[in-house]
């Protein structure tokens, strides 16, 4: 479904990615783990078209997308919940969800269904529907960011550190819902996480990034038992 080949990305003179190659198949949850600054966010942003690679290719369902602008990539069926959530703090929960459905806004029925689906996944959001997003707690903002990313009906969902800064019980909830989105709604997920333990538990495969390179790739269960991974990313 998604194929990244030998991706090199620079920020000015700073090298962020040095040849990342990875693949996500339809129906999978794939996770990308790695320390701060490894290049996970850069990879996610390049898939969405927010940063452009110097060399390398990204294809989605066979179509090269690395030269497309973000709004066109979204229309192909790629949604993203960005690092730091980035909800529109000065707008209500409802307006945020509506913006998530920006490309299908004229189809009132689909928008309504989407909002209902989001409220079904995150009942907390329904209670807060008319509240400004900036007044939500961190966990609620994360729910909103995910709900908003689902509004356009993506087939591939990119999640950048959805558990960052959340209380432990909320982390559990978020991971449970990610699995639900994958299994019940059939959305393929590429999940970036610092919380490697949790991420590897719900993923089928995983990639380990270090200073802009993939240093390991395997099934999630093998990575979970890999001594090196356990030492470096699971705090043992």
Ligand X SMILES: Nc1ncnc2c1ncn2[C@@H]1O[C@H](COP(=O)(O)OP(=O)(O)O)[C@@H](O)[C@H]1O
158 is a contact residue toward ligand X (CB under 6 A): no
* Contact set for other proteins, span 124-143 (CB under 8 A): 134, 138, 141
Cα–Cα dist 105/99, whole Å? 8
Cα–Cα dist 220/223, whole Å? 5
Are 195 and 32 within 8 A, CB to CB? Answer: no
Which listed residue (19, 25, 26, 37) binds ligand X by CB under 6 A?
A: 37
Which listed residue (23, 91, 117, 194) binds other proteins by CB under 8 A?
A: 91
Are 125 and 142 within 8 A, CB to CB? Answer: no
Which listed residue (1, 2, 30, 40) binds ligand X by CB under 6 A?
A: 40
* Contact set for Mg ion, span 21-50 (CB under 5 A): 41
42 is a contact residue toward ligand X (CB under 6 A): yes
Give Cβ neighbours of residue 107 (< 8 Å, ≥ 6 apart). none
Cα–Cα dist 125/170, whole Å? 14
Sheet arrangement for strand 156-160 = 78-81, 156-160, 188-193, 29-34, 205-210, 213-219
Smallest separation (angstroms) from ligand X to the CB of 24: 17
Per CB under 8 A, residues contacting other proteins are 48-50, 69-71, 74-75, 79-80, 82, 84, 86-91, 95, 98-100, 102-103, 105, 134, 138, 141, 148-149, 152, 165
Per CB under 6 A, residues contacting ligand X are 11, 14, 16, 34, 36-42
């Amino acid at each position: 479904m998604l194929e990244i080949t030998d991706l090199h990305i620079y920020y000015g003179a700073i090298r962020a990615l040095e040849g990342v190659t990875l693949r996500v198949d339809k129906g999978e949850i794939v996770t990308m783990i790695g320390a701060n600054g490894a290049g996970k966010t850069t990879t996610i942003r390049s898939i969405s078209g927010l940063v452009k690679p110097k060399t390398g290719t990204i294809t989605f369902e066979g179509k090269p997308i690395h030269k497309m602008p973000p709004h066109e990539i979204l229309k192909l069926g790629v949604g993203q919940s960005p690092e730091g959530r980035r909800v529109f703090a000065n707008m209500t929960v409802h307006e945020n969800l509506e913006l998530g459905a920006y490309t299908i806004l004229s189809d009132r029925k689909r928008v309504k269904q989407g909002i209902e689906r989001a409220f079904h996944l995150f009942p907390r959001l329904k209670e807060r529907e008319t509240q400004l997003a900036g007044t939500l707690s961190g966990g609620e903002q994360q729910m909103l960011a995910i709900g908003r990313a689902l509004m356009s009906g993506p087939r591939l969902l990119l999640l950048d550190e959805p558990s960052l800064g959340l209380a432990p019980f909320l982390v559990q909830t978020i991971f449970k819902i990610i699995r639900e989105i994958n299994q019940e709604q059939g959305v393929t997920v590429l999940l970036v996480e610092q919380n490697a333990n949790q991420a590897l538990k719900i993923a089928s495969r995983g990639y380990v990034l270090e200073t802009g390179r993939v240093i390991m790739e395997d099934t999630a269960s093998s990575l979970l038992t890999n001594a090196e991974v356990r030492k470096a990313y699971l705090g043992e």
